Structures are given as structure tokens and as C-alpha cells.
Amino acid sequence: MPSSSPATTDPDVALVLRAYEAFERGDIEAAVADLHPEVEWIEPDDFPMGGRRVGRAAVAEYLRASRAAWAELRSEPIASRRGTDIVVVHHVVGRLADGTPNEATVADVFTAANGQVVRMQAYADPADVPGAA
């Protein structure tokens, strides 16, 4: 179950965590509901289907394919505000579609404005996030 540190009183943190909850249950339409129509979404090039996408539809397509890779998935995001950004350290654990157990921890950095995510940059290693302690 998604959590946040500190308590989720920040509306931008709450909207980001709602997207993780939706992704976990496979509800991609809900996962992209709070994205700006022209959101910029960047996954590391070495990720499966990695690269840059622009627009809610392109992100939804990516998230559908990403979620389809998992037969069972538990999503454990921990979000914190870092200046104007929301940094999420995201641990996933479960079973891939082919039955292989898998887990990973990544970091996603979101920028939100006016109640919508306008940008997301993912990092394969949370230590690679600029300004990470």
C-alpha cells in the first residue's frame, strides 16, 4: 500500500501516490488522470521500453505495457517533497508474467503544477537523483 513521509497533506504528493495505487491495481486510466495533457515522461534508456514520451496517451500506453509485464505486483512508493519536486522511491515486488519472481527499487521525480503532473524523470538507482543524500 502506498505511503508517504511525512503524512500526505500535500495535494501534489497525494495525487502522485494515487497514480501508484492505480498502477498497482492495473487501472491505467486512473493512473494517468492527473497528468497534464502534454506531460513529459522520461524513463531510463536501459529500462524495458525506456525513453522519453510526451502526452497522456503515450504515457498510458507505456504504463499499460509495463503493468502487463507483471502477473502479480505489490507497489511500495515512499514520496517526499524536495523543493518544487516530489521524489518517490518506488519498490516493486511480485511475479512477472512468465512466473519469474522479481523486485526492484527505483526513483521517480515528479514536477506538478496546478494539480497536474507536468514532468516525470525516472532513475534506475535512487542514489542517482540529483541532490540525493
Q: Which residue has the cell 511480485?
A: 94
Number of domains in the chain: 1
pTM over 0.75: yes
Q: Is residue 133 part of a domain?
A: no
C-beta separation of 63 from 35 below 8 A: no
Q: Which residue has the cell 534506475?
A: 124
Q: Is residue 24 part of a domain?
A: yes
Count of alpha carbons within 13 Å of 122, Cβ hemisphere only? Answer: 20
| Separate counts of helices (H) and strands (E) for the chain | 3, 7
Task: Give the range of the structural domain holding residue 28, as residue numbers without chain letter.
Answer: 3-128
**pLDDT computed for residue 77 by the predictor:** 96
Q: Is residue 34 part of a domain?
A: yes
**pLDDT computed for residue 133 by the predictor:** 60
Q: Is residue 113 part of a domain?
A: yes
| ω into 6 cis (within 30 of 0) | yes
pLDDT single digits (tens) 68-120: 999 999 999 999 999 889 999 999 999 999 999 999 999 999 999 999 999 99
**pLDDT computed for residue 48 by the predictor:** 83
- SS3 category, 38: strand
